[in-house]
A and B are shown apart, each in its own frame.
Chain A
Amino acid sequence: MKNKQLCVILAGIAMLLFAAGPVTAADTIKIAYIDPLTGPFGNVGDAGQKHFQYMADLINGNGGVLGGKKFEIVPFDNKISAKESLVQLKNAIDQGIRFVTQGNGSSVAGALIEAVNKHNKRNPKDPVLYFNYAAVTPAFTEEKCSFWHFRFDAHVAIKMDAISEHIKTRPEVKKVYLIHQDYIFGHSCSATIQDMLKAKRPDIEIVGDTFHPLGKVKDFSPYISKIQASGAQVVVTGNWGQDMQLLVKAAKEAGLTAEFYTFYGGGLGSPSGVGAAGENRVKQVTEWHNNLWNEQNKPADKDFYLGFQKQYAVGNNERLEFYYGRIRTMMEMVAKAFDKAGNANPKDVAYALEGMEHDTYYGKVIMRADDHQLYQPMFISTMVKAGSDKVPFDVEKTGLGWRTDMKVDTETTMRPTVCEMKRP
């Protein structure tokens, strides 16, 4: 009996002793990817890592940056905890990594921004730069804006602005229902869309403004009953993950015909979670989806998209697809910034990135210097039956794909900012 106990201890010790150190090469530029790789959000972080790896391989294949230096994505598992992210940031800095990217969870992003700011203040000669590809709290590029933080995702207000632009074009919509998760993100979504609708469509009546606890609701039917009773034609929700999927599923069960404007209906498991319930019911606001190449006639983007699938959609991940159009934009712009700066000094790269304009397949994007927020064209799209000429690809093998309803141009998405950028 004692022997087994000992076995267990030795196992633990051996595990720690044998921990192999990372292999370093001088001609690489490392980017620390700090996101959940295990635990409840492991699938999202895992998908993100594959996006970055795909982009890094593409750029490296084309000769890399700074005359031949290669990008290396170094993953760090933060288990979506702010605390662990800070420890992993230290870990990355110890390993000589000066570029960090992260996206999942505004709690993590907020902690990283603070930590990067403090590190750079306390070590002004050895700064760290942080690229945010998905955390959407507006404050990060408003009151809390930082020179060391660049955001490549449209924040809440930009997304809501696009949604309200679309609703503006639909005179038949008279009643809108808002349902959000009861925390800061949900409240800011709700407040933003109400202001915008009031300004753009004063005739619209907000027939409900409901908050429910985050991630605690299993059966959304009661909420659907409420929406049904209110007579709403359109539901706007910032819900993500299960809270979004279960909401839409319950709507289908109850035969609710209202349409759902969502942020996160588009990928990373959401379409398969929603399944058939999404048809003609779910709309999303994104910077990219997998039928844009067809609508805008850009076959090169199709190859890009299929190339990702060919590499990574295997085994258990057979339904993994390219989703983060912005990761492509981000990596291309970062590569450009390195070449423009002429070195790998984070400060120079940051200055090079400020105000940078970049051409994507679907229009010009700009990293505004005032607030370090990327402004890019936004697309409102609806989930419809796929396989036709207009909607060739489905998402996650659901048989449903995205069809664009409207494009919102970069200039239209630009918003005033209260950011007072302090530059070193």
Chain B
Amino acid sequence: MIEFIVFSLLNGLLYGMLLFMLSSGLTLIFSMMGVLNFAHASFYMLGAYFAYQISTWVGFWPALIIAPLLLFIIGAVVERFGLRTVHKYGHVAELLFTVGLAFLIEEAVILIWGRSAPDYRIPDLLDAPLFTLWATNFSMYRGFMLLVAVCMFAALYLVLTRTRIGLIIQAALTHPEGVSALGHNVPGVFMLVFGGGCAMAGLAGVIGGNYFITDPGMARMLGPIVFVVVVVGGMGSLTGAFVASLLLGAIQTFAIGLEYSLSDLFRLLGMSPGFQGGILKDLFRIQIAHTGPILPYLIMVLMLIFRPKGLMGTRET
């Protein structure tokens, strides 16, 4: 049992940190600009592909720096020439613009790198176990991923609390109109934040692309899970996004260990399972363990219905 708990915690922590890398940028963008960026996962994919390409030329370590920088530039350009043009047509247009962008990025990736997965590998240096617990290895690369995520969190925290631009961003998170009324260059801040968010997604792509799989479907595969973090964490709260990421990571990993279904519950309550026929009989068969990856969406829906502010949000919309 203790083995299960320790490993679930470790796995949950790692998954949560990855989620946070992806969703922190999205939370910033969403809270400040009100844009649900559907292309966010595409920037994650671009990060992985750039890292693959750069690592075939100059190796993994430079890629770790260069790929996010490239994405920062791309993100800033998209904000400046795309989103800002669409901004005047309202949030729906902005959102649909990012949907279209996701289409185009996927096609561009296919056109450049082909339809099949490139061979983007973990660097040899990190391809070894870090420590072994109860015969299960914890690899160095996973340790490295954790380290990168923690460093990114620390850097983000410092930038937001210790620098002038960070303070403006923080203010803009909760009171966007007020900040612009004070005479700050809000569009410029938007561009910076959008670029920064894309760079973080790109960094997640660099270290996630080889741990998982880099292929043209990876953005689609990631799906809307990042939105769940934003919603559950709450608008305008980075801490909320952090907590939500870890929570979702933990919930998903722990759920996998729980092999109980509705019929078990009824048996526990001493009720006979006689009515479990008909069209909904499958409902009783499904174990919690099978539902792990879809639980987040259930949580998101319930959260929006009962507590639209999210865990730590400062406002509703």
List residues of A whose CB falls within 8 A of some B CB.
40, 42-43, 46, 182, 210-213, 215-219, 221-226, 228-229, 242, 245-246, 249, 253-256, 268-269, 272-273, 275-276, 315-317, 319-320, 397-398
Contact = CB atoms under 8 A, between A and B. Distances in A.
B15 interface: yes
Contacts of A217: 292-293
A319 B115 CA distance: 11
B220 interface: yes
Nearest to A255: B137
B312 to A, nearest CB: 25
Given A215-B221, A272-B119, A225 B11 contact: yes
Given A221-B11, A222-B8, A246-B212, A213 B116 contact: no
B139 A253 contact: yes
A254 B117 contact: no
Given A213-B293, A216-B293, A229-B3, A272 B11 contact: no
15 contacts: A43-B216, A182-B290, A211-B287, A211-B290, A213-B292, A219-B253, A222-B253, A224-B136, A225-B3, A229-B3, A246-B213, A255-B132, A255-B135, A275-B121, A317-B114
Interface of B: 3-4, 7-8, 11-12, 14-15, 18, 110, 113-119, 121, 127, 129, 132, 134-139, 141-142, 211-213, 215-217, 220-223, 252-253, 256-257, 286-287, 289-294
Contacts of A213: 290-294
B6 to A, nearest CB: 9
B220 A218 contact: no
B119 A397 contact: yes
| Interface-centre pick from A218, A268, A319 (highest chain B CB count, 10 A) | A218
A210 B119 contact: no
Contact of A242 (B110, B114, B138, B221): B221
Contacts of B127: 276
Contacts of B290: 182, 210-213
A273 B141 contact: no
A208 to B, nearest CB: 9
Contacts of A219: 11, 14-15, 18, 212, 253
Given A254-B136, A255-B129, A222 B256 contact: yes
Contacts of A211: 287, 289-290
B256 A226 contact: yes
Given A254-B137, A397-B119, A42 B256 contact: no
By CB atoms of chain B within 10 A, which of A42, A223, A225 has the most? A225
Given A222-B252, A246-B213, 12 more contacts: A40-B220, A42-B110, A42-B216, A217-B292, A221-B14, A226-B257, A242-B215, A256-B136, A269-B116, A272-B117, A276-B121, A397-B119
A27 B4 CA distance: 66
B246 to A, nearest CB: 14
B116 A319 contact: yes
B86 to A, nearest CB: 14
* Nearest 4 pairs of A and B residues by beta carbon: A316-B114, A255-B137, A43-B115, A216-B293
Nearest to B111: A316
B135 A228 contact: yes
B136 A218 contact: no
A255 B121 contact: no
Contacts of A225: 3-4, 7-8, 11, 136
A255 B136 contact: yes
A218 B212 contact: yes
A345 B212 CA distance: 49
B131 to A, nearest CB: 11
A317 B136 contact: no
A320 B116 contact: yes
A272 B212 CA distance: 12
B294 A216 contact: yes
A210 B256 CA distance: 9
A212 B292 contact: yes
Contacts of A273: 117, 213, 215
Contacts of A40: 216-217, 220
Nearest to B141: A253
A229 B4 contact: yes
A320 B115 CA distance: 11
Contacts of B119: 272, 275, 319, 397-398
Contacts of A42: 110, 115, 216
Nearest to B114: A316
Name the residue in A242, A253, A316, A398 with the highest tally of chain B Cβ atoms < 10 Å from its Cβ: A253
B256 A223 contact: yes
